[in-house]
A and B are shown apart, each in its own frame.
Chain A
Amino acid sequence: GNSVTQMEGPVTLSEEAFLTINCTYTATGYPSLFWYVQYPGEGLQLLLKATKADDKGSNKGFEATYRKETTSFHLEKGSVQVSDSAVYFCALRDGSSNTGKLIFGQGTTLQVKP
């Protein structure tokens, strides 16, 4: 079955540090991949997406590249800010599935200190 594995958190960084959150997936079809962010007390916001191999999604300084050969979709940001503190979820949707379920990783908590 389809699954998503994220690196365990929490991840604690100083402001302006480089961020990587690892995400790998298992899928039988051809999934679309997503990163969602959840700020404290809020719902999930779509951060970025990629729908096919070698696509790069980017938004708000965050980037992730769909790597089919390594089944990965790692999230990166060159210089984090305190306001980036949140929980980050990697997720996939298998376009060939008749349910289109969104499969989430376990989430990674990021804390950025001034």
Chain B
Amino acid sequence: DTEVTQTPKHLVMGMTNKKSLKCEQHMGHRAMYWYKQKAKKPPELMFVYSYEKLSINESVPSRFSPECPNSSLLNLHLHALQPEDSALYLCASSQEMQGGQPQHFGDGTRLSIL
């Protein structure tokens, strides 16, 4: 069982819709991450939150808007997405943003843009 929970598992949306992806962890981790993954490729880092503050934004388009309401929750708000944004979106967490501890991943949300 994964200790990082993501909802929904699947999402289909039109290019004009607004939707949100949610991620939750109860391991007491202080760093949380959003990744985008295309089929058979490694995950690409999008955002990093450390102690509920945005620490890294990997030049992600503004149609993706992250939010960290508290230390256990991470959201990714989506608006006016493009077909090329169809992918698996993975959330991860680790004890700290820095250091050599592993990141733990959720099962992801598979997003399809019509």
Chain A contacts to B: CB under 8 angstroms: 30-32, 34, 36, 42-46, 49, 51, 87, 89, 93-95, 97-102, 104-107, 109
Contact = CB atoms under 8 A, between A and B. Distances in A.
A17 to B, nearest CB: 22
B3 to A, nearest CB: 10
B56 to A, nearest CB: 6
Contact of A97 (B45, B98, B101): B98
A45 B99 contact: no
A91 B55 CA distance: 21
A95 B90 contact: no
Contacts of A89: 42
A97 B96 CA distance: 12
Nearest to B48: A99
Contacts of B108: 42-43
Interface in B3-51: 4, 6, 31, 40-43, 45, 48
27 contacts: A32-B101, A36-B105, A42-B108, A43-B4, A43-B6, A43-B90, A43-B106, A44-B90, A45-B2, A46-B102, A51-B100, A87-B40, A93-B101, A93-B102, A99-B48, A99-B56, A99-B98, A100-B31, A100-B94, A100-B96, A100-B97, A100-B98, A102-B92, A102-B103, A106-B41, A107-B41, A107-B42
A109 B98 CA distance: 30
A30 B98 CA distance: 13
Given A44-B43, A105-B42, A107-B40, A99 B97 contact: yes
A30 to B, nearest CB: 8
Interface string B72-97: 00000000000000001010101011
A104 B99 CA distance: 16
Contacts of B102: 32, 34, 46, 49, 93
Contacts of A106: 41-42
Given A36-B105, A94-B100, A99-B56, 7 more contacts: A43-B88, A46-B105, A93-B100, A95-B98, A95-B100, A99-B55, A99-B98
Given A95-B99, A99-B48, A104 B106 contact: no
